[in-house]
Amino acid sequence: MLTEPTDAFAACRRAVLAGARYSVTSRPGPASRLAEIYALREEGTHLRGVATIGFIETVNRLRDRDEEPVRVAAVDTDDPPYHFQLFLDEHATAVLACFGVDQSWNPNRHLA
């Protein structure tokens, strides 16, 4: 499902193929609400100077989907330490957007 040719999709695909941990939420939520939440998170991440991949593009994609139901998924890898947030269609059959956040700054990140 991570076939789109963007840096975030490619990095997340590599992490999954290398055995990264992942999870998917059980309930979808409206894309517009998720766009609001993640726009604030992107701003905070940017202000702290944390490296990200595809964050702004993901927020824009969520905004474009308006009230469409979207599931949230996560992929976490320790080497390099990155957290990927994925947004899936309602049935979890397609990845609609993906971004990654460098976790090397985070002393509380989960280590395998």
Q: How far is C-alpha 44 from the chain's CA centre?
A: 15
Domain boundaries, the chain: 7-102
For residue 14, what are its two tokens?
């590599």
Which of 8-12, 57-61, 86-90 comes out lowest in average pLDDT?
8-12
Give the Cα-Cα-Cα angle 52, 57, 58 (nearest 5 degrees). Answer: 85
How far apart, in whole angstroms, are the C-alpha atoms of residue 81 and residue 60?
A: 25
**pLDDT, the chain, mean:** 89
For residue 20, what are its two tokens?
């990264």
pTM: 0.87
For the segment 60-76, what is each residue's pLDDT rounded down to a tens digit?
Answer: 999 999 999 999 999 99
61 to each of 29, 66, 98, 108, how far by Cα in Å? 15, 9, 10, 30
Share of the chain above pLDDT 90, in %: 67
For the segment 73-106, what is each residue's pLDDT rounded down to a tens digit?
Answer: 999 988 888 999 999 999 999 999 999 999 987 7
